[in-house]
Amino acid sequence: MLKLDGVTKIYKVGAFGGKTLTAVDDVSFDLRPGEVVSLIGESGSGKSTIGRMVLGLLRPTGGSITLDGARAAPGKAYYRQVQGVFQDPFSCYNPVFKADRVLRMIKQEYFPEVASTEWDGRMEESLKAVRLNPGQVLGKYPHQLSGGQLQRLLIARALLLDLRFLVADEITSMLDASTRIDVLNLLADLKARGLGVLFVTHDLSLGNYISEQAVVLYRGRVVEAGTTDRVFGNPLHPYTARLLASVPQLTTRWDGVPVVAADGPQEPSALVEAEPGHFVRRSPVSPREGAV
């Protein structure tokens, strides 16, 4: 289990570092295998700072982050188990490396003992798991792949590591609508394979779709946390209620027809894009069909 306990991050800001900014303030939550936790909040609320601390890219000022009880420390043993995928897939790749080189580097770095032919098999398997066709992507440079393909390639790379936890920071925000839903569904597959995912998003409807636990951040503090159904169905904090109220698509389609059933089915086919970027669950029987 990945555990955050009272995690705080204070940045030094200003020309001479004389001022401070508390970006993350006493944040605690757990991420278990096979579970998606969405970390939701508006821009600047501290989501990426939390993601970067979990990935060991930033040191917390206070509190602790532990993996199975041991303090999270950047290094091979940790990165074999915990990896991140970010908003801009292009920035994560060296533009002169073809896809196969990116995946072979994992072997050099983490699995030097594995034979090349076996590694080729594992590469193929991980690409298929993210629904990429090895023949179509392996010989390509990043600029020859789409944003969605690059995002999948990053996830395939993560799978090669026998990953247990994935931090996904706004990974769908640069993708077009149909690719976005593919990547979301892929995360659901990974969850089914036992991966724990920290799904960082400013978009409530995505959080609602993908996660069973939701943590709502406001100015670095957790204002609400619980099961996604509870947080979305019965927000206890005014900030969450306000966030929900500003997303009318959650309960109403663009043409005013209600589409959400609180206990509606959650399989991907039940998802409707009510407005670009906003997915909602369709009622088991849509109101129109039901009103015969």
Applying CB under 6 A, the residues found at the interface with ligand ADP are 11, 13, 21, 23, 41, 43-49
Q: Which one of ligand ADP, Mg ion, none interacts with residue 205, CB within 5 to 8 A by kind?
A: none
Q: For ligand ADP, give the closer residue by CB, 44 or 233.
A: 44
Say how far apart CA 230 and CA 254 lie, in whole Å. 25
User: Shortest distance, CB of residue 27 to ligand ADP, whole angstroms?
Assistant: 11
Q: For ligand ADP, give the closer residue by CB, 34 or 56.
A: 56
For residues 38 to 77, the per-residue mask of contacts with Mg ion, x marking binding by CB under 5 A and - elsewhere, is ---------xx-----------------------------
Q: Which one of ligand ADP, Mg ion, none interacts with residue 41, CB within 5 to 8 A by kind?
A: ligand ADP
Hey, what are 130's tokens? 């993210």
Contacts of 204 (CB under 8 A, 6+ apart): 40, 232, 243, 244, 247, 250
Contacts of 78 (CB under 8 A, 6+ apart): 56, 67, 72
**One-letter identity of residue 52:** R
Q: Which one of ligand ADP, Mg ion, none interacts with residue 46, CB within 5 to 8 A by kind?
A: ligand ADP
Q: For ligand ADP, give the closer residue by CB, 50 or 280.
A: 50
User: DSSP per residue over 21-60, as a string?
Assistant: EEEEEEEEEEE-TT-EEEEE--TTSSHHHHHHHHTTSS--
Q: For Mg ion, give the closer residue by CB, 31 or 160.
A: 31
